[in-house]
Amino acid sequence: MIGCRCAVCHSEDPRDRRLRPSVHVRFGGNESNRGVLIDTAPDFRYQALRFGFERVDAILFTHSHADHVMGLDDVRPFNYRQGGVIPVYGSEETIGAIRRTFRYIFDEKDSESSRPRLVTHVFDGAPIDLFGLDFTPVRLKHGRGTVYGFRFGDAAYLTDHSDIPEESMAMLQGLDVLFLDALRHKPHPTHSTVARSLETVEKLAPRRAFFTHICHDLGHACTEERLPPHVRLAYDGLEIEVGVRQA
């Protein structure tokens, strides 16, 4: 937290130095290596440099809050490197907000400045086939708003949410890895808490779970000490291999 003097914001543990939430999903073989980004956080440029992203072949958006979209302009180098346009997927509401927020990107007029080359797609809940891997949108409640998580193979990424509707719970059975929002211990109107997310883990029984979207109330080491061994806190740069059932 900018300007904060608390122990977590001043921690020496690199896992306590948290940038904004996003994941980069890599799949395919050596010949057909693909990278799909879920959200373009304001820190996207630094994340891509620091963790050496080689490809962004598609972008999925969970929702249009600033902490999940504001890095979109910095995908330009992937247009140059890969050639071609990058497809961007979101709900109708999210794509509308992206097109308004980044109006210059979608302006048809010629420009002297370089802009990302993107094509937007609205998803309706059906699985999205990206280069042979299905990403299924999972509807979640984020306070009064609706956001989407994504299930891909045996993994699911559910950031910002306060509630998971029953029909979405049914889509989250048999997971190897579940990532989910656990902001802090104190209740929050739009986010899940550690206790609530532990309940979700118990109900869904994934093999492993990682909490994300963590605020500075939660120190990494001292919070993990009190979690069951199959539930860990995610941290910047964490890489996980996931069992994927081929479509």
| DSSP letter, residue 85 | P
Q: Is 141 in the site for Zn ion (CB under 5 A)?
A: no
Residues 12-41 that bind Zn ion (CB under 5 A): none
Q: In the complex with Zn ion, which residue's Cβ is closer, 153 or 219?
A: 219
d(C-alpha 208, C-alpha 220), whole Å? 17
Q: In the complex with Zn ion, which residue's Cβ is closer, 10 or 81?
A: 10
Nearest-approach distance from CB 158 to Zn ion, in angstroms = 12
d(C-alpha 182, C-alpha 241), whole Å? 22
Q: In the complex with Zn ion, which residue's Cβ is closer, 65 or 220?
A: 65
The CA-based angle 51-38-141, given to 5 degrees, is 135
Q: In the complex with Zn ion, which residue's Cβ is closer, 12 or 112?
A: 12
Residue 225, C-beta contacts closer than 8 angstroms, at least 6 positions apart: none
Q: Is 65 in the site for Zn ion (CB under 5 A)?
A: yes
Q: Is 4 in the site for Zn ion (CB under 5 A)?
A: yes
Q: Is 196 in the site for Zn ion (CB under 5 A)?
A: no
Nearest-approach distance from CB 20 to Zn ion, in angstroms = 7
d(C-alpha 148, C-alpha 138), whole Å? 5
Say if residue 108 is exposed, middle or buried (CB neighbours under 10 Å; 0-12, 13-18, 19+).
Answer: exposed
Would you mind telling me the total number of residues written for the chain in this entry? 247
Q: Is 6 in the site for Zn ion (CB under 5 A)?
A: yes
Q: Is 160 in the site for Zn ion (CB under 5 A)?
A: yes
Q: In the complex with Zn ion, which residue's Cβ is closer, 187 or 228?
A: 187
Task: Tell how far CA 50 is from the center of its chain.
Answer: 17
d(C-alpha 10, C-alpha 219), whole Å? 10
In the shown chain, the binding pattern of residues 206 to 245 toward Zn ion, with x for contact by CB under 5 A and - for none, equals ----------x-----------------------------
Binding site for Zn ion (CB under 5 A): 1, 4, 6, 9, 65, 67, 160, 216
